[in-house]
């Protein structure tokens, strides 16, 4: 089956078996290895992408569902200025996600900062609950998210 | 006509409107209707989706993704991702439902899962159903040439099957917006792993001038029969608050009798939560 979708802002078309998991299509057919298969039950966050603007576990998406979708992977986010805000925020907080959870953490924070200005403990907790990996401490991550929000706001005020 | 993309293994239909969807479903009633697909994929055994010969994907049916709100109702299309409903916030979604949706999987699952999908799982009562039942929510079931509204509490029959007539599809859920004074939702374990002694608890109450005007309490252990005692609720309505501990203890003893198939852990948790909820009413 041939599917068409937008991947990291680029129109993409590819032949897939509709039953393949999107995480495998991204990694094995498109060479995007940032989304990693972990629990394969949508719980651990390591295979996260933004799917039509929503956080989504690619191990819970069959390939046919990607038809017409808009997908942003960690590789696509890295090309954007928003990534630098998050990266600087994490760095300032003294934390750096490992390769297993980077997709989940960066994209979750990006989704949080893009969807609302609500940085309550509840919304941050909800965001981090979707990524199981504890290679970084919770407190530093929370601090990193608040720094990232600050960097993003300052950049926007400068018109960047 | 619906966009149809064939593959060697499965035929996938992508209807572009509700009218097309109903037409395709009538033509091929045995096709698997694919909403968010999260429950189906959670049951798979291999590293691929186990698809039947024909699948109808609802992803392009714009009518199923609508959200509307009036003073009296919140209407949610069956294909609206749970995450999108959560984003409406507790100021627009009844608090108990908002909390229930936040408990259905992590954000990366809630971005895919849908309320229609939650209702359509046969054999299990998923997290949102007890809450929607207490809120008097109704589901619209459509087929070509007709529609009917069914209380969410009656979408599942006693044997756990879904009460869909031939060619019917769940299209939207209407949730009444009623001014509850107290709304509580709690969940333990997961319906997907029965070994975790899953329990969903929801309590709703309306009070005025320290009088209990309306009370609803429900529990679910995941099986089709909900844990609810309407006569106990009716008995407590009209009482002065706070309720005396002795009366509360007597009331909750009526829950979890043998017919409800609860484990001792589930029964104990439910009774503790019900007691706490009733004693907290002011």
Looking at 3.30.420.10, 3.30.390.30, 3.30.390.50, 3.50.50.60, the CATH number of the domain B182-280 comes to 3.30.390.50
Neighbours of B134 (CB within 10 A): 24
Whether residue B135 contacts residue B176, with contact meaning beta carbons closer than 8 Å, is answered with yes
d(CA B178, CA B44): 39
Whether residue B109 contacts residue B57, with contact meaning beta carbons closer than 8 Å, is answered with no
Which pLDDT does position B74 carry in this prediction? 98
Same fold for the pair B3-57 and B182-280: no
Which pLDDT does position B46 carry in this prediction? 86
Which A residues in the span 61-120 are in contact with B, Cβ-Cβ below 8 Å? 61-62, 64-65, 67-69, 104, 108, 111, 115-116
CA distance B200 to chain A (A): 19
* Domain A81-157, CATH homologous superfamily name and number: [2Fe-2S]-binding domain (1.10.150.120)
Determine the Cα angle at B93 with ends B90 and B95, to 5°: 55
What is the residue extent of each domain of chain B? 3-57, 62-176, 182-280
Determine the Cα angle at A40 with ends A34 and A46, to 5°: 30
Residue A61 pLDDT greater than 90, yes or no? yes
d(CA A48, CA A42): 9
Mean pLDDT (whole number) for A85-94: 96
Which B residues in the span 52-111 are in contact with A, Cβ-Cβ below 8 Å? 55, 57, 59-60, 81, 83-84, 87, 102, 105-109, 111
**What architecture is the B3-57 domain classified under in CATH?**
2-Layer Sandwich (3.30)
Instruction: Kindly write down the DSSP assignment for every residue of B125-143, as one continuous string.
Output: --THHHHHHHTT-EEEEEE
CA distance A99 to chain B (A): 18
B82-107: pLDDT as tens digits: 999 998 999 999 999 999 999 888 99
Task: Provide the pLDDT confidence category of residue A122 given band limits of 50, 70 and 90.
Answer: confident
d(CA A46, CA A38): 6
Name, in order, each residue with C-beta under 8 angstroms of B250's C-beta and a sequence gap of 6 or more. none
CB contact under 8 A, B87 and A130: no
What is the residue extent of each domain of chain A? 2-73, 81-157
Domain B62-176 fold is 3.30.465
Question: What does the CA dihedral A82, A83, A86, A91 come to, rounded to 10 degrees?
Answer: -140
CB contact under 8 A, A45 and B108: yes
CB contact B201 to A (< 8 Å): no
Pairing between β-strand B32-34 and β-strand B138-143 as defined by DSSP bridges: unpaired
CB contact B27 to A (< 8 Å): no
CB contact under 8 A, A2 and B109: no
Neighbours of B186 (CB within 10 A): 19
Closest residue in B to A51 (Cα) is B111
* Domain A2-73, CATH homologous superfamily name and number: Beta-grasp domain (3.10.20.30)
Which pLDDT does position B193 carry in this prediction? 74
CB contact under 8 A, A60 and B109: yes
Which pLDDT does position B2 carry in this prediction? 60
d(CA B63, CA A103): 32
Closest residue in A to B48 (Cα) is A20
Torsion region of A50: left, alpha or beta (phi above 0 gives left; psi -120 to 50 gives alpha):
beta
Phi then psi dihedrals of residue A100, to 5 deg: -70, -40
CB contact under 8 A, B37 and A42: no
Give pLDDT < 70 ranges for chain B: 1-9, 256-260
CB contact B6 to A (< 8 Å): yes
Which pLDDT does position B158 carry in this prediction? 87
Contact pairs from chain A to chain B, CB under 8 Å: 111
CB contact under 8 A, A111 and B48: no
CA distance A49 to chain B (A): 8
- Which segment of A61-75, A85-99, A110-124 scores lowest on mean pLDDT? A110-124
Q: Which residues of A touch B37 (CB under 8 A)?
A: 60-62, 65
Closest residue in A to B51 (Cα) is A19
Same fold for the pair A2-73 and A81-157: no
Name, in order, each residue with C-beta under 8 angstroms of B48's C-beta and a sequence gap of 6 or more. A17, A19, A20, A21, A62
Which pTM value belongs to this model? 0.92
Query: What percent of chain A is predicted at pLDDT more than 70?
Result: 99
Name, in order, each residue with C-beta under 8 angstroms of A9's C-beta and a sequence gap of 6 or more. A72, A76
Comparing C-alpha atoms, which of A59, A74, A69 is closest to residue A20? A59
Question: What does the CA dihedral B13, B17, B20, B26 come to, rounded to 10 degrees?
Answer: 80
Mean of all residue pLDDT scores within chain A: 94
CB contact under 8 A, A62 and B47: no
Query: What percent of chain A is predicted at pLDDT more than 90?
Result: 84
């Amino acid at each position: 089956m041939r599917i068409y979708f937008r991947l990291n802002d680029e129109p993409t078309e590819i032949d897939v078996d509709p039953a393949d998991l999107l995480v495998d299509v991204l990694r094995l057919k498109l060479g995007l290895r940032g989304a990693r298969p972990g629990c394969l039950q949508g719980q651990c966050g390591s295979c996260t992408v933004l799917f039509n603007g929503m956080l989504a576990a690619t191990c819970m998406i069959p390939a046919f569902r990607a038809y017409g979708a808009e997908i942003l992977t960690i590789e696509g986010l890295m090309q954007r200025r928003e990534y630098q805000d998050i990266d600087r925020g994490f760095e300032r907080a003294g934390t750096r996600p490992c390769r297993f959870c980077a997709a989940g953490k960066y994209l979750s924070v990006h989704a949080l900062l893009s969807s609302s200005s609500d940085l309550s403990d509840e919304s941050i907790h909800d965001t981090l609950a979707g990524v199981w990996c504890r290679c970084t401490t919770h407190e530093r991550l929370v601090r990193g998210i608040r720094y990232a929000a600050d960097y993003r706001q300052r950049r926007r005020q400068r018109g960047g | 006509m619906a966009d149809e993309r064939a593959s060697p293994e499965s035929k996938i239909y992508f209807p572009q409107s509700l009218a097309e969807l109903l037409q395709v479903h009538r033509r091929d009633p045995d096709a698997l209707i694919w909403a968010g697909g999260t429950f189906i994929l959670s049951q798979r055994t291999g590293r691929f989706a186990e698809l039947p010969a024909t699948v109808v994907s609802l992803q392009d049916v714009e009518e199923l993704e609508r959200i509307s709100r009036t003073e009296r109702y919140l209407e949610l299309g069956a294909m609206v991702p749970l995450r999108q409903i959560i984003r409406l916030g507790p100021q627009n979604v009844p608090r108990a439902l908002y909390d229930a949706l936040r408990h259905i999987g992590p954000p990366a699952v809630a971005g895919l899962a849908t309320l229609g999908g939650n209702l359509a799982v046969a054999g299990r009562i998923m997290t949102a159903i007890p809450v929607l039942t207490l809120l008097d929510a109704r589901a619209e079931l459509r087929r070509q040439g007709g529609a009917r509204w069914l209380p969410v509490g009656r979408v599942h029959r006693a044997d756990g099957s879904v009460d869909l007539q031939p060619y019917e599809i769940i299209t939207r859920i209407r949730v009444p917006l009623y001014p509850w004074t107290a709304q509580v939702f709690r969940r333990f374990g997961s319906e997907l792993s029965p070994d975790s002694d899953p329990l969903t608890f929801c309590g709703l109450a309306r009070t005025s001038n320290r009088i209990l005007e309306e009370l609803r309490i429900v529990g679910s252990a995941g099986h089709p029969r909900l844990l609810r005692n309407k006569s106990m609720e009716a008995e407590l309505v009209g009482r002065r608050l706070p309720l005396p501990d002795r009366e509360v203890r007597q009331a909750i003893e009526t829950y979890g009798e043998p017919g409800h198939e609860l484990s001792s852990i589930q029964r104990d948790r439910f009774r503790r939560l019900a007691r706490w909820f009733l004693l907290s009413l002011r």
